[in-house]
Amino acid sequence: DTGVSQDPRHKITKRGQNVTFRCDPISEHNRLYWYRQTLGQGPEFLTYFQNEAQLEKSRLLSDRFSAERPKGSFSTLEIQRTEQGDSAMYLCASSLLAGGIDEQYFGPGTRLTVT
C-alpha cells in the first residue's frame, strides 16, 4: 500500500496522559499536514510541513501540542496532558507541491478518546 499511513488507528487514554501519533506520507510527497475532525464537522487544519520545516501552526494548536518531521519523511504529533476536549479524529495528509493544483491525500486517521 503506497498511501498515507497513520499509527495507531485508535487510542484511548486517561486525562492528563501524553499521547503520540505517527504519520507516514506518500513517499515522494514533500508536504505533510495535520488536521483534526470532530463529529459533524469537516476537518480543521492544525499544522503543516514542507520537508522538515514547520511552516504554519493553527491557533487551535495549543502549547500542549507539538509536531515534528525530523527528516522530512514521517511526522509525529504529540499531545501532552490530554484533556477530554482533545477527543477527536486526527488526520494526516500529504501532497506533492509541484505546479498546478496541490491535491492532498489523507491517511485513515487516529481516533483519540480521552476518558
Partner 1 sequence: RKEVEQDPGPFNVPEGATVAFNCTYSNSASQSFFWYRQDCRKEPKLLMSVYSSGNEDGRFTAQLNRASQYISLLIRDSKLSDSATYLCVVNWEYGNKLVFGAGTILRVKS
Which residue number, 3 or 16, has a Cβ lying nearer to partner 1? 3
Using CB under 8 A as the criterion, which residues of the chain lie in contact with partner 1 when the complex forms? Answer: 31, 33, 35, 40-45, 48, 50, 56, 58, 91, 93, 95, 97, 101-109, 111
Which residue number, 81 or 102, has a Cβ lying nearer to partner 1? 102
Which residue number, 25 or 109, has a Cβ lying nearer to partner 1? 109
**Residue 108 to residues 6, 14, 59, 72, 95, Cα–Cα distance (Å):** 6, 23, 24, 20, 15
Q: How far is the CB of 16 from partner 1 (least distance, A)?
A: 27
**What are the backbone dihedrals phi and psi of residue 91, each rounded to the nearest 5 degrees, phi first?**
-110, 140
Residue 52: partners with Cβ closer than 8 Å, 6 or more residues away = 69, 70, 71, 72
Choose among 112, 21, 108: nearest CA to 69.
Answer: 21
Q: How far is the CB of 20 from partner 1 (least distance, A)?
A: 20
Q: How far is the CB of 30 from partner 1 (least distance, A)?
A: 10
Which residue number, 19 or 32, has a Cβ lying nearer to partner 1? 32
Cβ atoms of residues 48 and 33 within 8 Å: yes
